[in-house]
Each structure stands twice: as structure tokens, then as C-alpha cells.
Amino acid sequence: MGAERQELAAQRALHAFVSAFVDELARSGVRNACLCPGSRSTPLALLLRKHPDIKVWVHIDERSAGFFGLGMAKVLREPVAIVSTSGTAALNFAPAVVEARYARVPLLVFTADRPPELRDVGANQTIDQTRLFGVHVKASIEVPLPEASKEALRYVRMLACRAVAEARSKPLGAVHLNFPFREPLVPIDSGSSTQDSPREDYRPYVTTSQAPGQLTQDALKGLAAELGETQRGLIVCGPQDDPGFPSAVIDLAEALGFPILCDPLSQVRSSGHACPLAIDTYDTLLGHERTALSLAPSFVLRFGATPTSKTLLSYLQSLQGARQTFVDGGEGWSDPGLRTSSVLQAHPRLLLEGLCRILGQKAEPGGFATRWIQASLVARGALVAALEAEPAPSEPWVLNTLPQALPEGATLFIGNSMPVRDLDAFFFSTPFRLRFLANRGASGIDGVVSSALGAAAALPGPLVLVVGDLSFYHDMNGLLAAKRHGLRATVVLLNNDGGGIFSFLPQAKKAEHFEELFGTPLGLDFCHVASLYGLAYQKPATKRAFMEGLKESLLAPGVSLLEVSSNRDTNLRLHQKLSLAAIMALESCRWDTNLP
């Protein structure tokens, strides 16, 4: 064969092989791929782009691309592909890949690579990409060099199905496929191959289905009996994203008369099912020793990932003699306080529904639950009054008020560090349905803008991101996607010019060089960022202006940036003031701790 014919044959084999793979991805339900420009990844980029059922999202910065894909996958609850060329480009996916692992988000990571003979011999843009993401992916597969034989095409179709199935199986996470490609890198279509054997009915080559874990009826009855006899039972819900979970857990709480301490990310505070048993002030209540003592449970039934509130976690850790049971729905062991004595490995919603069927109708809340409800009302009243007394918009005020101002069905993406903690402490349950998202796997401040925009791209309804200035700065590159992909979102930037959370830590009192090492003011005027990326920009000075700006942004096309000026010292003092107001109100209550 002449060199030219050999080359053509190779380009046809490349087309057949990569097309079969992409086709199988689409059959398996993959609908989105985030691509970053590069030469080595050309076959994947071109053939993903050409597939009618797959939408490609081109990004320049792979770090942002990775998080954008993560945000989409979070909303879709389906794997999204992220694709890079060879070299350090691929490494820029690492933060998103690790977040995907710990937040249980399905991702497909495709990295293009040099063929084996060009590795470790000084070839350009070549690094060792074998197991590039270490233990942080569920599988790391070295794809063979493209071939157009029957067996090779069969293999690559299976591989696509398997990668999707692995990413989708619990615990959800990322699957890495490393694709070696030789030059020439432009695939050539030679029409349908007799070697290729896709299923004719357009189903995937291999279909997979998962049986969710259910306790036996006997085990359920035993548990129901135990719960039914419990006087001081408490349900704790951490972050989770099963849309059917909130109503199921509320049903159980009502059947048992148990209070539910619900993290905003459990979706229970905003499920559309108002329930007085849903307690949203525990971060405040449990910070008051006498109240905390009077509200101590004898049994804790815990769902979801680790809750955001450190106060709640310390409280769970401090409980003497309470039996603590954790329902692990395949998300993995979560017990940083080491107080869990029983782990139920079962599908949470199915468990809840099974228990409700056995327990039957609603129970009247007993003294214990009533005390939780009353204490919560007292704390909430005090906090709301104190927040309303402040003339200017503050960080806690934004997290208190903003969710209430969102339209039904809206999504709030919440930044890590202070915003998520303030949301937990100051956002109170709403009768409206809202969805809360955050990167709580590794809780990094990186990639938040891109994750939120990726979520916005996948959502039908409006999305608001609330983010601090360090986190916003960290992923400003993510804003390029706004114009590029015609996205709509509102970014509320809480700008306290630095690392606000550190003011709350012991470092603030004891450490020299605090401002240099922890305060780290950026000193940036973010109006220039708005100009750079074509964002509508407002910096409201009053609460009213903030609310108007928010409303406007929700109606506007594109991405709006709403900056709220804050100050780290003032913010610390306001938190202390709010806490004090709640404590004063709780101090005046007399709980009869002898009542059950």
C-alpha cells in the first residue's frame, strides 16, 4: 500500500472507531459534551460535534470546562462528557473530577493522547496520562489505538456503554478514558461499515439497569416499631438531590411526629410541601447551650451527605446515649463525628416510603417536637427582626431574603465558604419550590462560577448564583461561557474584599500577619469584569435597590452581576449581633425539659 493510501485507510479507521464510540454514547443517553480546543483531540471534537443528538459546549479554559460539565451533570443527573487535548490541558480537569467524586456527580472525562511510541521520548505536549486522576475516578481506561475491525468496533461500543454505566452507578463519579491518536488526526467518513454492528433499534449496545437497595419487609417492620416507640426522635437531612426525597421524609416525620433538621441542600426547606416539623434554625438553636440541652434527642435518623452546619455536627458528636442511625443510599460512609452506631445501606426514598406504609397515618407532634417547633419560631423571629433592623443589605440579609424573592421553581446555586453557611443559618423554609445546588463534595471555592453556569445551561428555569469575591475571582474565566453560549443567570457577588470566613476562626484573634495570609483583600473593582464579559452590572446600596436589581436581572437576557458591598469586620459583628438577638430571645423561654 502506498503511503497516501495507507494514510487514507488510517483516517477511515479513525472515523469508524470514534464514530462508533460517539454513536454509542448518544444511544446511552449522553446529550452534552464540553470541548476545549486542541489538535490531538480533533477526532473526538469533530465527531461529537457532528452527532445530531449531542450538543457541544466549547470552552477555552479546561478548568472552567470541567466545572461547567459538572454543573450540567448535577442538574441533569446524567453523565456529561468533558474532552481535552493532551498535556497539562487534561490536568486542568482535576479539580472538577475530584469534586465529582465527592459530590457524586456522573462525568465522562475523555483525554486525547499521543500514541505509545511517542510517550516519554521528548515528544511535544506529551505527559504520562495513564491513571492521570489517580484514585479519584471510578475507572481509568486506556483506549486502544483506533481500528476498524469488527472486534475493535464491538469493543469501543461496549466501552462507551460501560463508561456511561460506571459513571451512573453508585457512588456516582467520573470515569476517565485516555484516547491515543496517531496523525493524521482528521477522520474521513467512508460511509457505513460492514464491520460495525450497532443495534438496529437504536438501543445501546449494552443496556444496564440498577436495582436500588431495599430492606426486607421484616427489617422495615423492626425499624418502624423502633421508631414508633421513640419519644425523642430526630431526623437530620444533609445535602441530597433526589427530587422525591423531601416529600417522602416529610411524610415519615409527620407519621412519627419527629422534627427534621434540614440542610438547605437537602431540598426539604423548599420542596413545596410546607411542614412545621421542618426545622431550619438549628444552627442558631444548638449554639445556645440550654436550648440545645432541652432539645436533645434519644434517637437520630440521618440522611444525605454531611450537613453544612458545624454547630449541628458538633452537637451530634456531643450527644450522650442517643442512638444514631445513618441511611447510606450508596453515597458512602458519612460520619465525621464517629457517633453513628447503625448504618442502613438502602435507597433512602424507598426506605422512607416503606416505613410510611407500615406506620400509617399522621401522629400529633409530642412535647419534644413541639419544643423544637416553638424554639425554632422564637429564634427565627429574633433573627428576622434583627435582619430587618439593619438598613443596608448585608451578607446574612441576602441569604435570608433572596430565596424568598425568587420565582417558584428557580434554582439557587450557592458558593462555598460563607454563602452556604449563611444560607444554612438564615434562609428559612419557604412554601415555594426552589432548588439549591452547591459544590459540597470537596467544598472548594474553585469552579463555582462555571458550575453555576453549567447548571443554568441545563435548566429550563432561572438560576441565581450567590458567591463571595474570592470564589468569584478564582473562576472569573468561567464567565466567558455566558456570552459564548447565550446563557441566562444572575450572579450575586457578596464582596467583602477577601476571605470573610477567616474572621470567624481562631486565626483571626491569634495570628500575626492575619490580613496578609488570611484576610487577603483583592482590591478589585468588579465593574471591569462586567465590562469584559458583557454582563449587566449593578451595585445596589440599599435593600430596595437590591430587590429591584434582582427582579430586573431575572427578566433580563444574558448574565447579570449584582454586587453587594460588604465588609469583613462589619460582617463578623453583624453575625455576633444576630446570634446575640437569638440567644436573648431563647433565654427568655422556659422549656420544661422533663416533658418527653
| Residues in 220-279 at the binding interface with a copy of itself, rule: CB under 8 A | none
- B/e letters for 149-168, b = 16+ CB within 10 Å, e = fewer, are eeebbbbbbebbbbbbbbbb
Among 408, 525, 569, 587, binds a copy of itself (CB under 8 A): 525
Enumerate residues 6+ apart whose C-beta is below 8 A from 188: 8, 11, 12, 14, 15
Minimal distance in Å, beta carbon 71 to a copy of itself?
15
Among 139, 517, 556, 595, binds a copy of itself (CB under 8 A): 517
Minimal distance in Å, beta carbon 343 to a copy of itself?
12
- Looking only at residues 334 through 353 of this chain, which bind a copy of itself when binding is defined by CB under 8 A? 334-336, 338
Among 21, 179, 245, 502, binds a copy of itself (CB under 8 A): 502
Residue nearer to a copy of itself on the CB measure, 5 or 513: 513
Minimal distance in Å, beta carbon 228 to a copy of itself?
29
Number of helical (H) and strand (E) elements in the chain, helices listed first: 23, 18
Among 1, 3, 135, 211, binds a copy of itself (CB under 8 A): 135
Residue nearer to a copy of itself on the CB measure, 60 or 580: 60
- Looking only at residues 160 through 219 of this chain, which bind a copy of itself when binding is defined by CB under 8 A? 184-186
CB-CB contact of 450 with 475 (8 Å) = yes
Helix, strand, coil percentages (3-state) for the chain, rounded to 5, are 45, 15, 40
Closest among 213, 79, 57 to 139, alpha carbons compared: 79
Helix (H, G, I), strand (E, B), or coil: what is residue 151? Answer: helix
Only one of the segments 147-155, 245-253, 330-338, 458-466 lies at the binding site for a copy of itself (rule: CB under 8 A); that segment is 330-338
- Looking only at residues 453 through 472 of this chain, which bind a copy of itself when binding is defined by CB under 8 A? 470
Minimal distance in Å, beta carbon 99 to a copy of itself?
6
Residues binding a copy of itself: number (CB under 8 A): 89
Half-sphere exposure of 5 (CA within 13 A, CB side): 2
Minimal distance in Å, beta carbon 516 to a copy of itself?
6
Half-sphere exposure of 461 (CA within 13 A, CB side): 14
Paired with 108 in beta bridges are 81, 175
CB-CB contact of 32 with 57 (8 Å) = yes
Q: What is Dmax (Cα atoms) for the chain?
A: 93
Question: Phi and psi at residue 183, in whole multiples of 5°?
Answer: -70, 150
Among 6, 29, 53, 120, binds a copy of itself (CB under 8 A): 120
Only one of the segments 132-140, 200-208, 366-374, 539-547 lies at the binding site for a copy of itself (rule: CB under 8 A); that segment is 132-140
Among 26, 118, 219, 547, binds a copy of itself (CB under 8 A): 118
Closest among 107, 103, 112, 184 to 143, alpha carbons compared: 112
- Looking only at residues 7 through 66 of this chain, which bind a copy of itself when binding is defined by CB under 8 A? 35, 37, 39, 42, 45-46, 49-50, 56, 58, 60-63
Paired with 463 in beta bridges are 411
Rule CB under 8 A: say whether 524 interacts with a copy of itself.
yes
CA 295 vs CA 286, 379, 428: distances in Å: 9, 14, 19
DSSP code, position 182:
P
Minimal distance in Å, beta carbon 564 to a copy of itself?
19
Measured CA to CA, the distance from residue 219 to residue 227 in angstroms comes to 12
Only one of the segments 22-30, 264-272, 452-460, 502-510 lies at the binding site for a copy of itself (rule: CB under 8 A); that segment is 502-510
- Looking only at residues 532 through 591 of this chain, which bind a copy of itself when binding is defined by CB under 8 A? 532-533
Among 513, 588, 590, 594, binds a copy of itself (CB under 8 A): 513
Closest among 422, 451, 386 to 105, alpha carbons compared: 451
- x/- string (CB under 8 A) for a copy of itself, residues 282-311? -----------------------xx---x-
DSSP class per residue in 504-545: GSHHHHH-TTHIIIII------THHHHHHHT-EEE---SHHH
CB-CB contact of 181 with 14 (8 Å) = yes
Residue nearer to a copy of itself on the CB measure, 95 or 393: 95
- Looking only at residues 415 through 444 of this chain, which bind a copy of itself when binding is defined by CB under 8 A? 442-444
Rule CB under 8 A: say whether 69 interacts with a copy of itself.
no
Residue nearer to a copy of itself on the CB measure, 98 or 292: 98
Residue nearer to a copy of itself on the CB measure, 97 or 583: 97
Only one of the segments 196-204, 248-256, 278-286, 519-527 lies at the binding site for a copy of itself (rule: CB under 8 A); that segment is 519-527
Only one of the segments 171-179, 284-292, 460-468, 510-518 lies at the binding site for a copy of itself (rule: CB under 8 A); that segment is 510-518
Measured CA to CA, the distance from residue 157 to residue 139 in angstroms comes to 17
Minimal distance in Å, beta carbon 101 to a copy of itself?
8
Rule CB under 8 A: say whether 99 interacts with a copy of itself.
yes
